[in-house]
Amino acid sequence: MADAVILDGRAIAGVIRSDVSVRVAALRARGTPPTCAIVLLENDEAGRLYANSIVKAGDAVGIDVEMRRLPAASTTDDVLLALAAVVDDARVQAIIVQRPLPSHLDAERICEEIDPRKDVDGAHPYNQGLLMAGESFLVPATAAAVMEILKQPQVPSLDGARAVVIGRSSVVGRPVALLLTAANATVTICHSHTKHLDAVCHEAEVLVAAVGRPRFVTAAMVARGAVVIDVGTNFVDGRFVGDVDAESVSKVASALSPVPGGVGPVTTAVLLRNIVEVSERAAPRTPA
């Protein structure tokens, strides 16, 4: 068997960004430029680099992205104060609280204070509930990016496919599992307490790795011909490393979305699309 087909996230992102650019131009022509605020705690290098990539990508398509930086030692009240300022700002149609948040903060309380209408990364419990009900307008961007990649023609239909998601976070694992279920896949969620993890993963036709451990998934865990999506964003020795050992896994998988160049660019593009969608909803209606 030849090496896995590489699922090129940059190409997918380019298609999404082209559509976003057209829609942004229309909003600006109406005098309602899309504006997003990112609340960022400077405790995590990977998070900082990712937030900077959103600013750069937004600028390229005409979206104004404002960074609200907070020291790593900020308290929950500090974050809530910064968040309240952007929630109340009529210029700002979209809000991102960069996650994961430091463990000393009350993440649930913080996410509850995001205006659900501005919540472009699907962090608010209301939007998470809509996702659970299959009625979501704002899907967490990384989870949506995984599904965009799985729509590519090199990937077999998800209908009836056995899918395994390693990771159960509210940011990636759970929303991905819900979206896969909605696509009629049969889904197993694995986590740190899963017994016989290698054997469970080896049953997967689609394997999504979102565990946050560098090169955790090896070829021994992957069935021959499986599709593997690496969601890892581990910052190791000055560069991003995925959760999948791409060198070994590419020898057995039929298709692989690697790190870098896979889910990351698509996630950024999906966030831009979400920003445009909330901006379109917030824009004054043009009289008929």
> What does 79-123 look like in DSSP terms, one character per residue?
HHHHHHHHHS-TT--EEEE-SSPPTTS-HHHHHHTS-GGGBTT--
- pLDDT for 285 beyond 80: no
- What distance in Å separates the CA atoms of residue 234 and residue 211, rounded to the nearest whole number? 10
Domain(s) labelled CATH 3.40.50.10860 in the chain stretch across 30-118
Task: Dump pLDDT digits (tens) for 61-111.
Answer: 999 999 999 999 999 999 999 999 999 999 999 999 998 899 999 999 999
Domain(s) labelled CATH 3.40.50.720 in the chain stretch across 141-264
Least confident of 10-19, 106-115, 158-167, 233-242: 233-242
**pLDDT cut 70: percent of the chain above it:** 98
- What distance in Å separates the CA atoms of residue 192 and residue 26, rounded to the nearest whole number? 47
Give the other-Cβ count within 10 Å of 224's Cβ: 11
Task: Dump pLDDT digits (tens) for 29-43.
Answer: 999 999 999 999 988
pLDDT of residue 286: 60
- pLDDT for 2 beyond 70: no
pLDDT of residue 238: 80
The amino acid present at 229, given as its one-letter code, is: I
Task: Dump pLDDT digits (tens) for 175-209.
Answer: 999 999 999 999 999 998 999 999 999 999 999 99
The fold for domain 30-118 equals Rossmann fold (3.40.50)
Assess contact for 131 and 142: CB atoms under 8 A. no
Q: What is the pTM of this model?
A: 0.93
Under CATH, which number does the domain 141-264 receive?
A: 3.40.50.720
Task: Dump pLDDT digits (tens) for 233-261.
Answer: 888 888 889 999 999 999 999 999 999 99
Assess contact for 92 and 86: CB atoms under 8 A. yes
R_g over Cα of the chain: 19
